[in-house]
Chain A
Amino acid sequence: MRLILKNGIVYDPINKINGEKMDICIENGKIVEDVRNAKIIDVKGKLVLPGGIDVHSHIAGSKVNWGRLFRPEDNIRRLVKRGENIRGGSGYSVPTTFLTGYDYARLGYTFVVSPAMPPLLARHTHHELNDIPIIDKATLSLFDGNWIAMELIKEGETEKLISYVAWLLKKTKGFSVKLVNPGGTEAWGWGKYIKYLDDQIPYFDITPRDIIRALTRVCEYLHLPHSIHLHCNNLGNPGNFETTLETIKTVRGIKAKNRQVLHLAHVQFHSYGGDSWKSLESKSEEIAKRINKQKNVTIDTGNIIFGETTTMTADGPLEFHLHLLTNFKWINKDIELETSPGVTPFIYSPKSPVHSIQWAIGIELALLVDPNKVIITTDHPNGGRFTEYPRIIAWLMSKKYREETLKKVNTAAERRGILPTINRELTFYEIAQLTRSNPARVLGLEKYKGHLGAGADADISVYEINPQKIETNDYETIIKSFSYSYLTLKSGKIVVKKGRIIDHPYGKTYWVDAKEREDVTRTLHEYFTKFYSVRLSNYAVQKDELRKSERICVE
């Protein structure tokens, strides 16, 4: 299919295009320099951006499914009937697979990374990802409590560890290495609680610092497109910003070719000062300073949105503490020798001093950190639903909207944060960086994703807003126009028109095929017969189990 998007106002940070009036030509699902006999769509006075990319959103996997199963009251909150081009679905904070795909497409997002897949449950995760229409997706394999990896780190067998990571990514069709509270879940299984980077993990006698360092190096040896994706220790506790700063320092001196070596997820939950809930304060300034100073680190924000949601993470102890805090229902599942995710509902209330500070920190981080290094996320559904991204964009773009919200929330946000003192308002170019080009760079996919130059995939979103005429005080228009894209193109096909789904092709699943140094199957065989409940031969996800597989070979 050949298409020309005419006269749109284009923002494309990777190609340094800042609000120019341009035509975009599309042929065979790719963006090209020029095209003949094409259908012309006039998008005059409208904002044209590359398709959005979400680097951290729990959309598939076993814990997402548990969230759906144990929250029927969340399902009934939002029921969508079958329509002309769409299937029915339900779910407010944890939508069904089809709704997830439709909602992302309506937002103008076309690539989503599901950040936590227990390797043992990779088959489930991939079959669920297969079910999500429209968007491209990738998923990260969890290594935080992996006995084999920890044993190899303890023994100091680097070559074997490299081969094991490569083998596991290949067999589980993972995209990169995810660490959630490294060592924390394993220690919790022994009744211990790890808070700091130098706490010992029982039996293995290594520390979270060892795990982070070893696996960061492995990622660089293997030349993975995405770096290590880290959910730091000590999440959500007052005073945890020191742990975060310490974690950033652990990767000092490690270099990568043209990307970061450490991506910190949902940093908002890791930027708290004070020593108790009563004295909790924002430390976003310190964190932002450190990140701006150190070249090889990027972050995503993890903003919170007021309202009810479901929290789900592979950080089992955290979910248990949340459950004790709220007394709401809670699930935990121990995944043999790998990890231990938990799920519990949560309500962020604007009246609560803690929650209002959390809200402010998320915004502060996005405003203070270098716009080349930060990405907007809500850690869906932990901080809020991904459908609330337009509101975050509006908070970043409009000081007036921030001030109005500050009036409605607990005064603690004003007293113990620095949000009122920040006058910065992000431009459309910077928003494009935060939602398009940065994620593409961080994931190492900037060749095909996140830009509109020739050779890129034709994933494009067009919004009904004129960036040259809009005033930042008019935040309602910003929210409204970013909530429903005027046009979303996926691989050159129009999938959304004026906020309505008109087509639902299936996207690809990206995974990494890295090179093993040596054959590890013999060591693994021992482990599997001794400890695992499955056989080694049944562990791997076959390539034809993915609906549309996109293999990325790395040398």
Chain B
Amino acid sequence: MRGVILTLKEIPKIHIDVEGILPKTIKNKRKNEIEDLKILYGKEIVKLGDFFDVEKTSENTLIFCGNLERVKRIGFRMDEGIIKIEGNAGMYVGAFMEGGKIIAHGNVGSFSGLNMKGGEIIIEKNAGDYLGAAYRGNWKGMSGGNILVKGNGGRETGAYMSGGKIVIRGKCGTFTGVGMKGGVIQTTRASFGLGASMKKGYIIVEEEIEDLLPGFIYEGEVKNPEIEGEKLKGKYLIYSGDHAERGTNGRILVKCRT
């Protein structure tokens, strides 16, 4: 079995929706069959071949190339295989994902890893808002899987998440981990509103925290803590919360400078 390279011909005027173009669906298909797959251009149903050049490759992956800022739902409801994105991607990368792996070499848009259940997303640059968050209106967000962002995260990262892990190497935006009910968010620098109304779960800040909400209470210090089976090095300050919203089991860990 071999993989496929999909290269965007030119940047479309409006968004293209590639829901259903997954490693599973292109498996064992011929080139012309793949070109005939249906995608959405606005509300029109079009063929994949109209917007993408299809090329076979020996690598066992589905690769998207080009400037994909206006291509949304890459890896939507994916459950197996590997997707690589060479370039910036649009909204909903890996949303409702259940398994497999997505590697994005550029920036990704908002709502990546939305309501994710399993699998892995690696983002080499920055992520948009609502990374690993809950679908609009839902009170249950990401429940499993891992997300790694090597750049910065946007606002409301991990909103309402109940499981899984999000790691952000750069800075994350305001209201990260709002309404959390489980899982782990690890970030280097945090902005205002961290963990607002959280009930359970862990937020780990490695370097700098802008401000802490008044609903959090200082609980003490801990050395080399173990969080969900992973050991951290150094001394951390522990805060519990968000007491302002009936939450007591949420924990924010901030690393001491010295």
- Chain A: residues with CB nearer than 8 A to chain B? 70-74, 76, 327-329
CB <8 Å contact, B135 and A72: yes
Nearest residue in A to B134 (C-beta to C-beta)?
Answer: A73
CB <8 Å contact, B138 and A327: no
CB-defined contacts of B218 to chain A, threshold 8 Å: none
CB <8 Å contact, A72 and B137: yes
CB <8 Å contact, B139 and A71: no
CB <8 Å contact, A73 and B135: yes
CA distance A74 to B135 in the complex (A): 10
Contact of A70 among B134, B135, B137, B246 (CB under 8 A): B137
CA distance A313 to B135 in the complex (A): 26
CA distance A76 to B111 in the complex (A): 15
CA distance A424 to B123 in the complex (A): 62
CB <8 Å contact, B135 and A327: no
- Chain B: residues with CB nearer than 8 A to chain A? 134-139, 246
Shortest beta-carbon distance from B63 to chain A in Å: 29
Q: Which 10 pairs from chain A and chain B are nearest by CB?
A: A73-B138, A72-B137, A72-B136, A73-B137, A73-B135, A71-B137, A76-B135, A70-B137, A328-B139, A73-B136
Shortest beta-carbon distance from B199 to chain A in Å: 9
CB-defined contacts of A328 to chain B, threshold 8 Å: 139
SS class, residues of chain A in contact with chain B? loop
Nearest residue in A to B140 (C-beta to C-beta)?
Answer: A73
Shortest beta-carbon distance from B241 to chain A in Å: 16
CA distance A476 to B137 in the complex (A): 35
CA distance A328 to B139 in the complex (A): 8
Nearest residue in A to B135 (C-beta to C-beta)?
Answer: A73
CA distance A327 to B181 in the complex (A): 13
Shortest beta-carbon distance from B17 to chain A in Å: 13
CA distance A327 to B242 in the complex (A): 15
CA distance A328 to B138 in the complex (A): 10
Ordered by A's residue number, 17 sampled pairs between the chains whose C-beta atoms are within 8 Å are A70-B137, A71-B137, A72-B135, A72-B136, A72-B137, A72-B138, A73-B134, A73-B135, A73-B136, A73-B137, A73-B138, A74-B137, A76-B135, A327-B246, A328-B139, A329-B137, A329-B139
Shortest beta-carbon distance from A513 to chain B in Å: 41
Nearest residue in A to B139 (C-beta to C-beta)?
Answer: A328
CA distance A327 to B160 in the complex (A): 14
CA distance A74 to B139 in the complex (A): 11
CA distance A70 to B138 in the complex (A): 10
Shortest beta-carbon distance from A453 to chain B in Å: 48
CB-defined contacts of A70 to chain B, threshold 8 Å: 137
CA distance A328 to B246 in the complex (A): 13
CB-defined contacts of B139 to chain A, threshold 8 Å: 328-329
CB-defined contacts of B138 to chain A, threshold 8 Å: 72-73
CB-defined contacts of A76 to chain B, threshold 8 Å: 135
Nearest residue in B to A327 (C-beta to C-beta)?
Answer: B246
CA distance A327 to B135 in the complex (A): 18
CB-defined contacts of A327 to chain B, threshold 8 Å: 246
CB-defined contacts of B137 to chain A, threshold 8 Å: 70-74, 329
CB-defined contacts of A72 to chain B, threshold 8 Å: 135-138
CB-defined contacts of B136 to chain A, threshold 8 Å: 72-73
CA distance A342 to B31 in the complex (A): 55
CA distance A329 to B246 in the complex (A): 15
CA distance A4 to B136 in the complex (A): 50
What 14 new A-B contacts, CB under 8 Å, besides A72-B135, A72-B137, A73-B138?
A70-B137, A71-B137, A72-B136, A72-B138, A73-B134, A73-B135, A73-B136, A73-B137, A74-B137, A76-B135, A327-B246, A328-B139, A329-B137, A329-B139
Shortest beta-carbon distance from B143 to chain A in Å: 14
CA distance A71 to B138 in the complex (A): 8
Residue from B134, B137, B246 whose CB has the most chain A CB atoms within 10 Å: B137
Shortest beta-carbon distance from B82 to chain A in Å: 26
Nearest residue in B to A76 (C-beta to C-beta)?
Answer: B135
Shortest beta-carbon distance from A310 to chain B in Å: 11
Shortest beta-carbon distance from B188 to chain A in Å: 31
CB-defined contacts of A73 to chain B, threshold 8 Å: 134-138
CA distance A328 to B160 in the complex (A): 13
CA distance A72 to B136 in the complex (A): 6
CA distance A71 to B139 in the complex (A): 10
Nearest residue in B to A75 (C-beta to C-beta)?
Answer: B137
Nearest residue in B to A73 (C-beta to C-beta)?
Answer: B138
CB-defined contacts of B246 to chain A, threshold 8 Å: 327
Shortest beta-carbon distance from A225 to chain B in Å: 40
CA distance A76 to B136 in the complex (A): 10
Shortest beta-carbon distance from A61 to chain B in Å: 20
CA distance A500 to B139 in the complex (A): 35
Shortest beta-carbon distance from B54 to chain A in Å: 26
Nearest residue in A to B136 (C-beta to C-beta)?
Answer: A72
Shortest beta-carbon distance from B98 to chain A in Å: 16
CB-defined contacts of A329 to chain B, threshold 8 Å: 137, 139
CA distance A72 to B111 in the complex (A): 15
Shortest beta-carbon distance from A40 to chain B in Å: 40
CB-defined contacts of B134 to chain A, threshold 8 Å: 73
CA distance A327 to B136 in the complex (A): 17
CA distance A303 to B120 in the complex (A): 43
Shortest beta-carbon distance from A73 to chain B in Å: 4
CA distance A70 to B246 in the complex (A): 23
